[in-house]
Structure 1
């Protein structure tokens, strides 16, 4: 590792040897001390590995070599004060802080006393001024270094915190998307099973009944009145089956969601509901609307549909309000009414309980949540929250 001590030593040596007036013996002494200083810096600081330089023993050893050689050189020529200043930088590497202050004090003593002949001479001539200069320099340099280190540590801690937060956000977004994907796959399976049950319970039974009635009408010797009754019954069963088929198809994805964004689809749903209801309905959207995953929009649409159905059947409300709120991380759907309400904690069954369970299951498939607040005579508030995962996140 290259050290600035070599540069300051070279400058000091050049000025001293070229401009100084020394005897041959003094010049040889200075050259020998310059070589010793360079060799000591090489062995104690440059060549050793980083772990040794950063250890307490290694840092103390390199500081002691630097401080000793600079003091001896300053005694020969004060110009080597430039080389001695390196001791301040080396002292700042010492740890703990108490050892650092001792190193700064030793360097200040070398720099301020050896140019005038040593500590004894400096204390003899204006000792108070000498001690004040030493104290101010050591305290200012030491406290400045500690403050700088503190700021550096705080900045590093902030950087680490920001990186950890960014990593956590990325991981959370990935997990959220993965959770929605898994929930969507589970929802697809549930929807298939639901369709299979409905086909078995409704359409299959209707078709079976139609076939039975037509076979009965086609039997030989069937009277005209009986034949007509069988055909009429088959016609009724066919109409019922057609209605069930239409209802099942509509349950897959509403046409309004296929044609419009969620806010427009909910507005149309509200208008259709209000035409046949006696309650006054208001709908509003807050925040910047963005296209979400199809499964998320469908879940919110179905929750609104089911909530309005519950209001029609049970609430006897005068006013109903629907609010769709787009936030940074979630999308909220709130449905409120001033109807009869119900005891939510004790309510576990019935049509309305089945409707709430259906809403909750739909939301759980897209990592959403349903909250219900209701009391008898105080109306009902339903709040559905789902993660705000954009359509392109698929």
Structure 2
């Protein structure tokens, strides 16, 4: 179980609240247990009881009113001074009350403003503790005073070292908190940028699909309609039944083919398979249908843990795969094709490999713009959502197309 920063803050707040009570109770218990030896007179007993009661009332008051003072101020300083005076008086009665004096070490930063004042408060706190360590205050004789000042110096030196390391640790904690905040902000900005890229990709994709559809209508449907018109013109200019039957049959076949092309173009306007299946399932169906249609064995491999990707990312991967397979069917004369979909920590990749003819990528004619089809179209799709596309090929050694896209989850 991991301890969070909020848990640590809660524990620290609880410690600062209850430590004075614990130290006062511990000091009072030890002083009471040794009262006959250390405080033999009744006046000392009564003074100790009165001061312990006053200290307890002071702590109760501060536990209630201290919540109203979030920052060090005159009220908190007054509380600190009164507590120190009571603790010092108790220490003069019994050295065990030095434990209660030590409460001043823990909350100086919370109740005393200013760096110099904090250091003065810590120094003043060490005076009753040093006197308790010497056994009496004021010390007896020259040796007692030397011991007192030596212990005072030692306590302050030790306190300075501990405070130095505590400040360094606090600085590291603040730096870590700042770094976490910066990373969180960067993550939010990156998420916003990715969302913007996806919106731009959707808008650009609409324009691309229109151009692609226009090209397909020109290359397939329009040519088919032209052929139908030509066949019907022949029929209109002849009375031979055999000729009429032949050309009507050709026109019918062209109409069926054009209808099929029209349906395929409409279906390709959006990856309908993604409406019902996740990306791996949609890719598997696309690969299997392509293999059945072309007669070329093709296999899909999925690596990593499949994620529910943003629709634009899934659509881009599916479109790039379909276009790459279309290129294989048109140009590669491949005997086998492999498609690999890989989910990684911060990106998703798709690789389409074939063992076909291959080509020299440097020998391809230069294209301008990003609205072309084939390799240019695939690369444009990937780049619109901050991805990339690479092509590796060599004549007679097949082709590998690899697209790398950011892993943006759905929602």
Output the TM-score relative to the length of structure 1. Answer: 0.64
Q: Any idea what SS the aligned residue of 2:404 has?
A: strand
**CA distance in 1: counterparts of 2:246 and 2:90, whole angstroms:** 123
- Which residue among 246, 250, 262 is the counterpart of 2:264? 250
Is 1:383 aligned to residue 398 of structure 2? no
Aligned residue in 1 for 2:361: 342
**CA distance in 2: counterparts of 1:52 and 1:294, whole angstroms:** 49
Whether contact under 8 Å (2:228, 2:254) holds in the other structure is no
Q: Any idea what SS the aligned residue of 1:339 has?
A: coil
**CA distance in 2: counterparts of 1:256 and 1:2, whole angstroms:** 62
Is 1:371 aligned to residue 389 of structure 2? yes
Task: Please report the RMSD computed on the Cα atoms of aligned residues, expressed in angstroms.
Answer: 5.6
Q: Any idea what SS the aligned residue of 1:323 has?
A: strand
**CA distance in 2: counterparts of 1:387 and 1:79, whole angstroms:** 65
**CA distance in 2: counterparts of 1:356 and 1:145, whole angstroms:** 65
Aligned residue in 2 for 1:331: 348
**CA distance in 2: counterparts of 1:297 and 1:104, whole angstroms:** 64
The structure that has the greater radius of gyration is 1
Relative to structure 1, the CA distance from residue 368 to residue 250 in structure 2 (aligned partners, 3 Å threshold; closer, same or farther) is farther
Whether contact under 8 Å (1:336, 1:381) holds in the other structure is yes
CA offset at residue 383 of structure 1? Answer: 1.9
Aligned residue in 1 for 2:285: 265
CA offset at residue 348 of structure 1? Answer: 1.6
**CA distance in 1: counterparts of 2:179 and 2:51, whole angstroms:** 50
Q: Which runs of 5+ in 2 are unaligned?
A: 1-15
Is 1:236 aligned to residue 250 of structure 2? yes
Aligned residue in 1 for 2:143: 125
Deviations 1:84-105 (A, max 9, x none): 4443345465566665444333
CA offset at residue 246 of structure 1? Answer: 1.5
Whether contact under 8 Å (2:91, 2:97) holds in the other structure is yes
CA offset at residue 356 of structure 1? Answer: 1.7
**CA distance in 2: counterparts of 1:344 and 1:132, whole angstroms:** 88
**CA distance in 1: counterparts of 2:366 and 2:226, whole angstroms:** 38
**CA distance in 2: counterparts of 1:297 and 1:90, whole angstroms:** 57
Is 1:67 aligned to residue 81 of structure 2? no
Q: Any idea what SS the aligned residue of 2:260 has?
A: helix
How many aligned residue pairs are there?
378
Structure 1 range deviating more: 191-200 or 125-134: 191-200
Relative to structure 1, the CA distance from residue 149 to residue 217 in structure 2 (aligned partners, 3 Å threshold; closer, same or farther) is same
CA offset at residue 110 of structure 1? Answer: 2.1
Q: Which runs of 5+ in 1 are unaligned?
A: none
CA offset at residue 11 of structure 1? Answer: 4.5
- Which residue among 283, 286, 307 is the counterpart of 2:324? 307
Q: Any idea what SS the aligned residue of 2:361 has?
A: coil
Whether contact under 8 Å (2:55, 2:86) holds in the other structure is yes
